[in-house]
Amino acid sequence: MLAIIGGSGMAMFDEMVDRRRQVVRTPYGDPSCPLSFGRIDGHEIVFLARHGYGHTIAPHQINYRANLWALDATGVTDVVSVATVGGIRPDLAPGTLLLPDQIIDYTHRGHGTFFEGPDQPVTHIDFTQPYDSTLRDRLVAAAGSVGETLLLGATYGCTQGPRLETAAEIRRLARDGCDIVGMTAMPEAALARELGISYATLAVVANHAAGIGDSVGGVSMDDIARVLEGAIGRVRTILRALR
């Protein structure tokens, strides 16, 4: 079963029919919100709003373990995460949709693993390829079927947030090889891998990152909101076509 984790600008997935919500309790506390179950063209899917339905949970406050555990417990095998990002590469204009294939983690968050505690053996997952290529291929096919293009292959630099970055931090991320910057890839992607869930991210470039292009003088929140309003509709159309 497929789950969609909606990010900023996507707190609902109204395209689902026969929607019902279910509160799932987990050993790690509460997920960001009750899970929404429903169907798209006859296929059962699950939706979770990463920041809560009212967008009240900041990136560093998200209970990533509870979210992933709850999805796993309800039989989810594949997760498409929708993530809003800043474009570091100057050619990544606001509104660009892309599928990252690598992550660099700059966060300092606790609870980045399920494998901790007195009864848990230390476990090291392979994370060479953090995203699932089969799920990426399915997203590419879905996008193609509705006339959208997804750029392939980008390195996602994950920062702690909730503040945006300084220009110097973005220059450093660029030197490190990051193409995009966001706040929620980690530990979400690693926790999915620990549970054996296939995971891919559909990233929406909302703005040029700090100090880049038209964000030389600063990042405009109004511009981000405007870009997201247009782009999230395109994301929904792609997700509706996902098989």
Which residues of this protein are in contact with ligand HPA, per CB under 6 A? 84-86, 159, 164-165, 181-183, 206-207, 209, 219
Residue 59 beta carbon to ligand HPA: minimum distance, rounded to whole angstroms? 8
In the three-class reduction of DSSP (H, G, I as helix; E, B as strand; rest coil), residue 78 is classed as strand
In this structure, are residues 83 and 39 in contact, taking their beta carbons and an 8 Å threshold?
no
Q: Distance between CA atoms of 82 and 38, rounded to whole angstroms?
A: 18
What is the Cα 238 distance to its own chain's centre?
15
As a whole number of Å, the CA-based R_g of the chain is: 17
**Residue with smaller CB distance to ligand HPA, 185 or 197:** 185
Nearer to ligand HPA, 143 or 209 (CB): 209
Cα angle, residue 142 at apex, residues 47 and 53 outer, rounded to 5°: 20
Q: Distance between CA 203 and CA 83 in Å, rounded?
A: 5
Q: HSE, CB side, 13 Å, CA atoms: give it for residue 125.
A: 17
Between residues 34 and 161, which has the closer beta carbon with respect to ligand HPA?
161
Indicate the residue among 49 and 70 with the shorter CB distance to ligand HPA. Answer: 49
CB of 203 to ligand HPA, least distance (A): 9
Q: Which residue is nearest to ligand HPA (CB)?
A: 86
Smallest distance from ligand HPA to CB 145, Å: 27
CA distances to 74, 211, 239 from 236, rounded to whole Å, are: 23, 30, 5
CB 73 within 8 A of CB 24: yes
How many other C-beta atoms lie within 10 A of the C-beta of residue 110? 9
Quote the least distance from Cβ 82 to ligand HPA, whole Å.
12
Cβ at position 212, least distance to ligand HPA in Å: 9
Closer CB to ligand HPA, 124 or 163, in the complex: 163
For residue 7, the minimal CB distance to ligand HPA (Å) is 9
Nearer to ligand HPA, 35 or 209 (CB): 209
